[in-house]
Amino acid sequence: MSNLDKVLETLDADRQGALYRLFELLRFKSISTDPAYAPECARAADWLVAQLQSLGFEASSRPTAGHPIVVAKAKAARPDAPHVLIYGHYDVQPVDPVELWQSDPFDPRLVESETGPKIVARGAADDKGQLMTFVEACRAFRAHGGLPCGITFLFEGEEESGSTSLPAFLEANAKELRANLMLVCDTNMWDRDTPLITCMLRGLALEEVVIKAASRDLHSGMFGGPAVNPIHVLAKIIAGLRDETGRITLPGFYEGVPELPEEIKQQWEALKFDAKDFLGEVGLSVPAGEANYSVLEQIWARPTCDVNGVIGGYVGPGSKTVLPAQASAKFSFRLVGKQNPQAIVDAFRAYVLENLPADCEAEFISHGASPALSLPFRSEAILRASRALEAEWGRPAVLAASGGSIPIVGLFKRELKMDALMVGFGLDDDRIHSPNEKYELSSFQKGARSWARILAALAA
C-alpha cells in the first residue's frame, strides 16, 4: 500500500470525526458584515488555530482592523518539496430571511435527499465545508509521515464583507506568505460527478461617462432640433461600440486576446451544456454576442463591452418635454488573456472624445480596473491536478474559465506574484447566500480525498 493509499484510507475511516469537526465550525455565527457577531468571528478563528496547532502547524490568529486572519505554517516531510498557500474564509453571509430556513441556520444537520445526504447550515458550502476539506487532508497526511508539500494556511474573516483588511495584511506580510502556488477551494464542480478546475478569470474595467451640453435643461418645443441632445450623442456612442457581428470596435481592443486551444474547445463542446436552456431560464432564446463563438466561449473566454446603466432627462411618471443638459452611462469591460485594462480605458475615452459633436464635453469617472488572470491550460500544476481529480472521480476534470472575477485571486497575484489553482466541490444548487444552504456529504468527503491526491501530485 502506497503512502497516498494509507492517507485515503485514513480519511475514509475518520469520516464521522471529520463531520463532527465541521459541525463544530458551522455552529459559530461568524457573520462578518454585522459588528454584533465580531466575538463569534474571533471564536471561529481561535477554533481554527487550535485545530491547526493540533496538527503541528505554527498557527495564530492575527488581529486586523476588522476580523482576525488565521495564519498557519508547516514544512513538508521532504525538504525539496514545493510550498503552497491555501486560502479560505471562515466568515459567512447573514441568514435573513430567517423564517425561510427549515431549521436553525447555525445548528447543522445531515438531511437525506434523492441525491444522498447533505449538510444543511449557513456556511456549509461557502466556505466552511470547502475550507475543512483542506484541513482534513492535512490531518490524514500527519498520521502517515507528514505533509507532502510545505503548507501555509490563510483563512480570512471578511470575504463576505469585501475583504477590507486583506490588502494591507498581504502587503505587510508578503515575505512570510509567498509560496510556489496558491490553492483555492471556493468554487464549484461542473456537476455532482464531474470535477472542475477554474483556469481563467476575466478581468474587469468599469467606466462611467457623463456627456454635457447646454447650461440647463431645455424645453424641447423651443430648442428641439437646433440644440444638441446629450442622450442622442450618448446613444450614438453606445451603438458604435459593437459592429453587426457583435465584435467590439475600439482600436486595439483584441490585443492580447488568445484563441482557445483546440483540445479545450472540443472539451467544452462535449459538455452537457444547452445554450437554449441557459438563455431560456431568463426568458431569452437567441445568443447576442460575438458571431462564431459558442455561448460557453463567450462567457468563459471572450472579452465583452456592456452598458450597465443609462441616465438622462426626465424619468418620472408621465411625460415631460425636456431636452436634458446632460446624460450619463456606466460601462463594464470583461477582459481576458493579456488585455491591458488601462489601454482599454484609454481607447474607450479616446473613442468617446472623437465622437463628441460641437458644444459637448465628456467627464469620465473610473470605478476600477483589474487584469484577467489565468493559469495556462497546459501548466504543470493543471496537468497534475487534472490527473489527481480524474483518479478520484473516475472522469476527466473540466478545465473551465469563469465569466466573472474573484477579487481575492487578483489581489494575491498582485501582492504575492502567485498563480492560483482553483478547485472547488460546491454545486450550483447549494443555495449559498440563501436560506437552507447545503453542502453534499459526498462533496465534503471526496473533496478531502481530492486535495490529498492533488497535494501528493504537486509534490511528486
Bridge partners of 311, per DSSP, are: 328
Half-sphere exposure at residue 90, Cβ-oriented, CA atoms within 13 angstroms: 35
> Are the CB atoms for 418 and 178 separated by under 8 Å?
yes
Give the type of residue at 375: L
Strands, DSSP E only, in 220-320? 304-312
Q: ∠ CA(450), CA(452), CA(453), 5° rounding? A: 65
> Which residue in the block uniquely carries the three cell numbers 470525526?
17
> Are the CB atoms for 452 and 8 separated by under 8 Å?
yes
**Domains detected in the chain:** 3-199+373-459 (3.40.630.10), 203-257+303-370 (3.30.70.360)
User: Which cell numbers hold the place of 24?
Assistant: 463544530
Cβ neighbourhood burial of 75 (10 Å; 0-12, 13-18, 19+): middle
User: Which cell numbers hold the place of 2?
Assistant: 502506497
CA dist 76 and 353 (Å) reads 57
Helix (H, G, I), strand (E, B) or coil at 103: coil
CB atoms within 10 A of CB 357: 11
pLDDT the model gives residue 406? 82
What CA–CA distances, in Å, run from 428 to 6, 344, 439, 444?
32, 33, 10, 15
Dihedral pair phi/psi, residue 377, rounded to 5°: -55, -30
> Are the CB atoms for 177 and 439 separated by under 8 Å?
no
**Going residue by residue through the chain (460 aa), what tens digit of pLDDT does each one get?**
799 999 999 999 999 999 999 999 999 999 999 999 999 999 999 999 999 999 999 999 999 999 999 999 999 999 999 999 999 999 999 999 999 999 999 999 999 999 999 999 999 999 999 999 999 999 999 999 999 999 999 999 999 999 999 999 999 999 999 999 999 999 999 999 999 999 999 999 999 999 999 999 999 999 999 999 999 999 999 999 999 999 999 999 999 999 999 999 999 999 989 999 999 999 999 999 999 999 999 999 999 999 999 999 999 999 999 999 999 999 999 999 999 999 999 999 999 999 999 999 999 999 999 999 988 888 999 999 999 999 999 999 999 988 887 888 989 999 999 999 999 999 999 999 999 999 999 999 999 999 999 999 999 9
- Angle, helix 129-142 to helix 38-54, in steps of 10 degrees: 20
User: Which cell numbers hold the place of 241?
Assistant: 461600440
Give the type of residue at 400: A
CA dist 226 and 354 (Å) reads 21
What CA–CA distances, in Å, run from 438 to 136, 192, 193, 218, 444?
19, 13, 17, 56, 11
User: Which cell numbers hold the place of 15?
Assistant: 469520516
Q: ∠ CA(386), CA(388), CA(394), 5° rounding? A: 90
What CA–CA distances, in Å, run from 93 to 37, 105, 124?
11, 11, 11
Q: From the CA atom positions of the chain, what is the Rg in Å?
A: 25
What CA–CA distances, in Å, run from 384 to 455, 456, 457?
9, 9, 6
CA dist 31 and 411 (Å) reads 23
Neighbouring residues of 54: CB distance < 8 A, sequence distance ≥ 6: none
Give the whole-number percent of the chain exceeding pLDDT 70.
Answer: 100
pLDDT tens digit string along 64-96? 999 999 999 999 999 999 999 999 999 999 999
Say whether the peptide bond before residue 97 is cis (omega within 30 degrees of 0). yes
Helix (H, G, I), strand (E, B) or coil at 61: strand
Q: ∠ CA(249), CA(252), CA(254), 5° rounding? A: 80
pLDDT tens digit string along 318-372? 999 999 999 999 999 999 999 999 999 999 999 999 999 999 999 999 999 999 9
> Are the CB atoms for 349 and 364 separated by under 8 Å?
yes
CA dist 294 and 265 (Å) reads 10
Helix (H, G, I), strand (E, B) or coil at 79: coil
pLDDT the model gives residue 376? 86
